[in-house]
Amino acid sequence: MASPVALKAPSQTWTFFQGAWRDGNTPILGPRTHGAWLGSMVFDGARAFEGVTPDLDLHLARVNNSAREMMLDPMLTIDDWRALVEDGLRRFPRDAQLYIRPMYWAEEGFGGGVRFEPSSTNWCLSIYEAPMPAGGKGGAVTLSPFRRPSNEVAPSGAKASCHYANGARALIEAAKRGFDNCLMRDMLGNIAEYANSNAFLVKDGVVFTPAHNGTFLNGVTRQRVIGLLRADGVQVVEATLSYEDFLKADELFSTGNFQKVAPMSRIDDRTLEVGPMYRRARSLYWEFAHSRQPLRVAS
CATH class of 13-129: alpha beta
For the chain, give the percent of residues with pLDDT over 90: 87
For the chain, give the percent of residues with pLDDT over 70: 95
**For the domain 140-289, what is the CATH superfamily, name and number?**
D-amino Acid Aminotransferase, subunit A, domain 2 (3.20.10.10)
Entry pTM: 0.93
For the cut 60, the answer to whether the pLDDT of residue 119 exceeds it is: yes
CA–CA dist 60, 45 (Å, integer): 8
Mean pLDDT computed over 113-121: 91
Q: Where are the domains of the chain?
A: 13-129, 140-289
Looking at residue 137, its pLDDT comes to: 80
pLDDT digits (tens, 9 = 90+) for 225-272: 999 999 999 999 999 999 999 999 999 999 999 999 999 999 999 999
- The DSSP annotation for 64-113 comes to HHHHHHHT----S-HHHHHHHHHHHHTTS-TT--EEEEEEEEE--BGGGS
Looking at residue 114, its pLDDT comes to: 87
For the cut 90, the answer to whether the pLDDT of residue 166 exceeds it is: yes
- CA 139 to chain centroid, in Å, comes to 18
For the cut 70, the answer to whether the pLDDT of residue 75 exceeds it is: yes
> Is 48 within 8 Å of 98 (Cβ atoms)?
yes
For the cut 50, the answer to whether the pLDDT of residue 298 exceeds it is: no
